[in-house]
Chain A
């Protein structure tokens, strides 16, 4: 009791002081990368620049591991009353964060016309996951899509044109078969293609679905379409790449080691996040290319990665300061710098118009593939209770790839269970 009165007193005093002198606003930002990795140095650099330009704002960045850890830590901090004004979290967490009543939409925080204008300045495909019911909850920052990396030397060896990577599902199957290399005993030395099926199978599946003209869920996040005919066809194609065309090894393919497989030339083609571009560029001992994912009915890939969110538990001053920080970090110059340093995408057309990024794209054309593919991109699977729903789809995909279930049956089950979970929303 006494304690609370003291706090109130202290609060009153602070407000007094604040109005007397230019007060410091302290922001705590939760950020999902591993501690001390190269990414943190980039983020730290950007924050230092921001603080230099805005001496009245202090930013404390907490690097909290992967997306899931960062979300757990940020929400736990909020619950236990520790400060947290903003965070970069998975773009697909938006429904869950709203259900938890943890975040505020950016529309409520922006004031001026220029700020409202800023909300419209990003690529629409990157906004899809952040906008619900016509309101903007997330601003894109650490964003990626899936692209196709291919080994040009393997293409030459197989008698294929290294400048003509597969553009359709049929071509992928056909070229893939030519790209498979076997040794004298008939053991495969190099596979035609690999699509990872651990870690984020639903993400890869979202690409195949989009290519087949379908999306996984509605934008309100309370309906899924897992067992539509297009989905079944997409999953059958994925399975056929290994079972029928023998382009891919059977069983699941590990997300984390796939890049190494590609670098060791154990596969001629891999589908992976654009986030791997810089690492592949630095380590590939052969000529490689990057291309859009092949089309069936049309091109397509989901976007992925992290958005900025503003937490509800913050004073108006803090919210304003947080908005300033987000605006700074996503400004064209910073976005360009970020994209060049990490391989993630520049989030706005203006970023690709900056001299720095223009020059980079010219010297390294693969950097533009992700941007060009954005025209065909869609949102990543995001629903209420996203973790559980995602696992249902992941399990169905893995069951099919492992030959434990047929596509139709597996997707029917996943859809039925997902609908049961989502019926409450």
Chain B
């Protein structure tokens, strides 16, 4: 009985796995074969690298990749700093108006910058930051989600640890850095993953605020590159997609074990 359930469950897991990896498999198929096989599957279809060559010539992928890295890094760096400071103040410092500030932060949790693209665009064009990395990053630098998460985590740090550190003559920032930050590592990891994944994939806001290849991230570059205005060219688009995610994919394959394990050991909550 349990054996049958186990078998069924394994089969289900594999079916789902197949469905989940299907887009990636198809990307490889379409990219590696000539155009006429893009929608036909024949085992003996000839292989070609032409699609990669064409895609590579048609868009500055390295530039887009660099832009994405800069933007994502910029956002994550500022988010971590700003949210740590604010989270700590809200968790461990008594000051007038704390309740109000926390309520404001909570309210912002659901009001993400995407919703306010129209107004934020006007703000940025007023600051002359349209089409810059900073312009793409600015609206995301303070994150209520991060503040909230870190506050909750900091609240669980025993007060005695802080008191002990203070007796040793640690400054406030020193305590934050030496006591709180290390203890909140799992939260940082979880939050970092959410943030990086979000901005690696983010499209709408960068679409609005970037104009040229100087600041355009991969997502917007891919959209312009693949826009089906006169007809979709799957082989070229798939080749472009693979070029774009190739580095990440390779990293994951090589470091798959370490990645998952470090995540596991961190004991995410």
Say if A and B assemble together. Answer: yes
What is the distance, in angstroms, from A65's C-beta to the closest C-beta of chain B? 5
Q: How far is the CB of A263 from chain B (nearest CB, A)?
A: 8
Q: Is B2 an interface residue (CB 8 A)?
A: no
Of all chain B residues, the one with the shortest Cβ separation from A77 is B211
Name the interface residues of A53-94: CB closer than 8 Å to any CB of B.
Answer: 62, 64-66, 69, 72-73, 76-77, 79-80
Q: Mark B208-241, 1 if CB is under 8 A from A, else 0.
A: 1001110000000101110111111010000000
Q: Are A35 and B221 in contact (CB under 8 A)?
A: yes
CA distance A65 to B161 in the complex (A): 56
Q: Interface-forming stretch among A187-195, A242-250, A271-279?
A: A271-279
> Is B231 touching A34 in the complex (CB atoms < 8 A)?
no
B230 lies within 8 A of A260 (CB):
no
A258 lies within 8 A of chain B by Cβ: yes
CB–CB B225/A36 < 8 A: yes
Kindly identify which residue among B130, B207, B225, B228 contacts A255, using a CB–CB cutoff of 8 Å: B228
Asked if A36 and B211 sit within 8 Å, CB to CB, the answer is no
**Which of A66, A258, A264, A285 meets B231, CB within 8 Å?**
A258
Q: Is the CB of A279 within 8 A of B211?
A: no
A37: Cβ under 8 A from any B Cβ: yes
Kindly state whether residue B174 has any CB partner on chain A within 8 Å. no
**Which of B53-61, B165-173, B196-204, B257-265 forms contacts with chain A?**
B53-61
Q: Which of A34, A64, A264 sits near B225, CB closer than 8 Å? A: A34
Residues in B neighbouring A38, C-beta threshold 8 A:
58
Write out the residue numbers on chain A whose beta carbons fall within 8 Å of the beta carbon of B212: 62
Q: CA A255 – CA B232 in complex, angstroms?
A: 9
Which B residues are in CB contact (< 8 Å) with A36? 57-60, 225
Q: How many inter-chain contacts with C-beta < 8 Å in the A-B complex?
A: 71
A259 interfacial contact with B, CB 8 Å: yes
Q: Which partner residue on chain A sits nearest B64 by CB separation?
A: A35
User: Which has the most chain B C-beta neighbours within 10 Å: A35, A80, A257, A258?
Assistant: A35
Q: Within the complex, which residue of B39, B121, B211, B225 is in contact with A62, where a contact is CB–CB below 8 Å?
A: B211
A258–B231 alpha-carbon span in the complex (Å) = 7
B211 touching A73, Cβ below 8 Å:
yes
> Taking each of A256, A257, A273, which has the highest tally of chain B beta carbons within 10 Å of its own beta carbon?
A256
Whole-angstrom distance between the alpha carbons of A35 and B212 in the complex?
A: 9
Residues of B within 8 A of A35 (CB): 59-60, 213, 221, 224-225
The 0/1 profile, CB within 8 Å of B marked 1, for residues 36-57 of chain A is 1110000000000000000000
Please give, as numbers and ranges, the residues of chain A lying within 8 Å of B125 by CB-CB distance. Answer: 76, 79-80
Question: How many Å lie between the Cα of A62 and that of B212 in the bound state?
Answer: 7
List the B residue with the shortest CB-CB distance to A144. Answer: B230
A283 at the interface (CB under 8 A from B): yes
Instruction: Verify if B36 is at the interface (C-beta below 8 Å from A).
Output: yes
The number of residues on chain A lying at the interface, defined by a beta carbon within 8 Å of a beta carbon of chain B, is: 30
> Whole-angstrom distance from the CB of B213 to the nearest CB of chain A?
6
Q: How far apart are the CA atoms of A258 and B38 in the complex, in Å?
A: 14
- Given known A-B contacts A64-B211, A285-B36, A260 and B225 have beta carbons under 8 A apart: no
B128 within 8 Å of A (CB atoms)? yes
> In whole Å, how far is A73's beta carbon from the nearest beta carbon of chain B?
5
Q: Kindly state the separation between the CA atoms of A76 and B131 in the bound complex, as whole angstroms.
A: 11
With A35-B60, A36-B57, A62-B211 already in contact, the answer to whether A260 and B231 are too (CB < 8 A) is: yes
Say how far A220's CB is from chain B's closest CB, in angstroms.
29
Chain A: minimal CB distance from B59 (Å): 5
Q: Given A34-B224, A65-B224, verify A275-B60 contact (CB < 8 Å).
A: no
Confirm or deny: B192 has a beta carbon within 8 angstroms of a beta carbon on chain A.
Answer: no
Is there an interface contact between A259 and B227, defined as CB atoms closer than 8 Å?
Answer: no
**Cβ-defined contact, A273 with B230, below 8 A:** yes
Which A residues are in CB contact (< 8 Å) with B211? 62, 64, 73, 76-77
Which A residues are within 8 Å of any B CB, using their own CB?
A: 34-38, 62, 64-66, 69, 72-73, 76-77, 79-80, 255-260, 263-264, 273, 275-276, 279, 283, 285
27 contacts between A and B (CB under 8 A): A34-B58, A34-B229, A35-B60, A36-B58, A36-B225, A37-B225, A38-B58, A66-B227, A72-B208, A76-B211, A80-B130, A255-B228, A256-B229, A257-B228, A257-B231, A259-B231, A260-B38, A263-B36, A264-B39, A264-B40, A273-B230, A275-B230, A276-B230, A276-B231, A279-B230, A283-B35, A283-B36
* Chain B residues within 8 Å of A, Cβ to Cβ: 35-36, 38-40, 57-60, 121, 125-126, 128, 130, 207-208, 211-213, 221, 223-225, 227-232, 234
9 closest cross-chain pairs (CB), A and B: A256-B228, A259-B231, A80-B125, A36-B58, A65-B224, A36-B59, A34-B224, A256-B232, A73-B211
